[in-house]
Amino acid sequence: MTEDKFKINIWQVSAIILFITVTILLYFVFIDGANKMSGKAISADEAGKQLVNYLNTKTNGGVELVSSSDKGYIYEVKVKYQGQEIPVYTTKDGKYFVQGATPITEEPVMQKDVSNSNTNTNAPQGVSKSDKPIVEAFVFSYCPYGLQFEKALFPAYDLLKDKVDFRIVAIGAMHGDFEKTESLRQISIEKLYGKDKLFSYLKEFDKNSEIGSCRGDESCLDKYLPNIYKKLSIDKAKIENYMKSDAEKIYNEQNARANNLGVSGSPTFVINSAQVQVNRSPDSIKEAVCEAFNTKPNECSQSLSTQSESPGFG
């Protein structure tokens, strides 16, 4: 398989089975449409098998059915792909892959904040300019494509951190309660040790495939997180105490910030309160940020990697 074909398959996967934005809002918005579109209901297992078959036609195979469950107006189907379990959704008649909704006989149309685009928006539309741009990365802490975006953000942060207000913003826990726990941990590190320490932690966390395999299991994480704490001179007890106290309030405030901006997908890139779509490469992020300055600093003339980072841990 050539490199170009490999890239295409990766983005097909992201456009089909990763990061289906299913929130409480979706349930309310989708009820009427689902009732109108859906015919006779089939079993959750049968719907799950149909959806997995459909996904495999779009990914050249590799998607496995884990479980199917009834969520009231739709079925949640957990699938396994490349070692990760991912929730996707279908109507009860098995005819629609729920993303607003899409007939499974057609290509799904995904939201721009949850699929990669090959269009580099160097001059983002609707972004106001400022002396010190506020740059926010809205992510689920275990989201493979959130991690991909963070990895692409690191070089831009290192280059522009003195000129830009970079922020990692939690938007909830899509993959499990462990995702909230990790967001609380990251919030605590930033508040107790500062933003540089948070980004140093993220560099260790995001690139550790063993941590990804833990899926939030505390006994498993205890094999890896203490080593990161020691390397970065982070006091574990202080972090855990803060996680149990002030971090929850900040976490809720970050979730509210996402809701106010209409952010529901991971990653979502926001500059000066405007959502921006860029390639997930360091240079694409840098270019978008630099366009938001009233006067570009000298750092903007430096070139960063144009290679997109890999999704997930590692």
pLDDT tens string 114-134: 434 333 334 456 799 999 999
d(CA 30, CA 310): 33
With a cut of 60, say whether residue 22 has pLDDT above it.
no
Note the pLDDT tens digit of each residue in 77-102.
Answer: 888 876 667 777 788 888 776 543 44
Provide CATH code, domain 134-301: 3.40.30.10
Query: With 70 as the cut, is the pLDDT of residue 135 above it?
Result: yes
- Asked if 203 and 171 count as a contact pair (C-beta separation under 8 A), the reply is no
From edge to edge, which strands make up the β-sheet containing 84-91? 64-70, 74-81, 84-91, 96-97, 102-103
Write down the pLDDT at residue 142.
92
Q: How far is CA 83 from CA 3, 52, 73, 160, 214, in A?
A: 21, 15, 28, 35, 12
Quick: pLDDT tens for 237-279: 999 999 999 999 999 999 999 999 998 789 999 999 999 999 9
Residue 206 has pLDDT above 70, yes or no: yes
Any idea where the domains of the chain sit in the sequence? 3-110, 134-301
Residues in a beta bridge with 135: 166, 271
Q: How far is CA 113 from CA 5, 19, 168, 173, in A?
A: 23, 9, 15, 17
